[in-house]
Amino acid sequence: MTRLWLFVSLLLVLAVPAHAAEPFDPFDAAGIDPRPGAQLPLDVPFTNDRGESVTLGELLDGRPAVLVPVYFNCPNVCGAQLASLFNLLGAVPFALGEDYVVIAYSFDPRETPADARAERDKLARRWPALANSDAVHLLTGPETASRAVSDALGFRYRWDQAIQEYAHASAIATLSPDGRLVQWLYGLGYQPNDLRLALTDAGEGQVGDFADQLLLLCYHYNPRTGGYDNWVIGALQIGGTGTAAALLGFIGLSLWRERKQREGGDGR
């Protein structure tokens, strides 16, 4: 028995360092914690692609915003994220600069205004009017600034030393005019209608006409998918299913009564 306990104890001792030696995967630490209504720090200093010091509060200037956390030298999804956004902006019936602004900030503190300018130049090759708009802001800044904004958003990212890249999620956020998080749109598959509704929602009644506000009533934001579900269609589907079930029940009851009447007549 003593030898058995010694053997078990040895296995436990050996198991601890083996478990502790398992490599940490930065992608496990990346993601988004939805925090609707979270207030972003509006006074932390960033630098725009012209080398000027700016804050989020100055850039919002009382307007809602599309906010994009990226890093401009990302070899994977960040470029596609910005391209997807700019591809949809032309389909949104709101005026860039008048109704909303676009802000992309880098969470890589090593990046410079030159990196942001290079990204703007790439976007301008396909969308010159949008990319060169004064309402599009590409920002870099110190770790203290990007970390403060990302933490407020619930946007988690981590440097992966093994592949020399950042592990992070792909999404855009909309902000209210006073800098509160309104919605997230996840991935690259959101549609123009999702972006339109997200901006209408963020505009707090100041963006979009009556039809846009009415359309927003017909859709419900789904935080699990990062998109808008058609509440009216869902209600009609549920109502249609209920109507069909009631009709089938009525038909079944009528047939049952008819059969009972026949059986009663045969008995007489």
Residues recorded for the chain? 268
Q: Which of 240, 219, 173, 170 is CA-nearest to residue 35?
A: 173
Strands 158-160 and 155-156: unpaired
Question: Are 194 and 228 in contact, with CB atoms under 8 Å apart?
Answer: yes
Helix intervals (H) in 162-230: 192-202, 210-218
Report percent pLDDT > 70 for the chain: 65
Q: Which of 52-61, 171-180, 190-199, 210-219 has the lowest mean pLDDT?
A: 210-219
pLDDT tens digits along 30-51: 899 989 899 999 999 999 999 9
Tell me, what's the pLDDT at 210?
A: 37
185's tokens: 């749109």
Q: Residue 6: pLDDT above 80?
A: no
Name the band, by pLDDT with cuts 50, 70 and 90, for residue 97: very high
Tell me, what's the pLDDT at 231?
A: 43
Tell me, what's the pLDDT at 37?
A: 93
Question: Are 130 and 89 in contact, with CB atoms under 8 Å apart?
Answer: yes
Helix intervals (H) in the chain: 2-20, 26-29, 56-60, 77-89, 113-124, 128-131, 143-153, 192-202, 210-218, 231-267
pLDDT tens digits along 212-247: 444 434 444 445 554 545 544 344 344 545 554 555
Count how many Cα atoms sit within 13 Å of the Cα of residue 134 in the half-sphere of its side chain: 4
Q: Residue 162: pLDDT above 60?
A: yes
Tell me, what's the pLDDT at 187?
A: 86
Strands 219-222 and 227-230: antiparallel
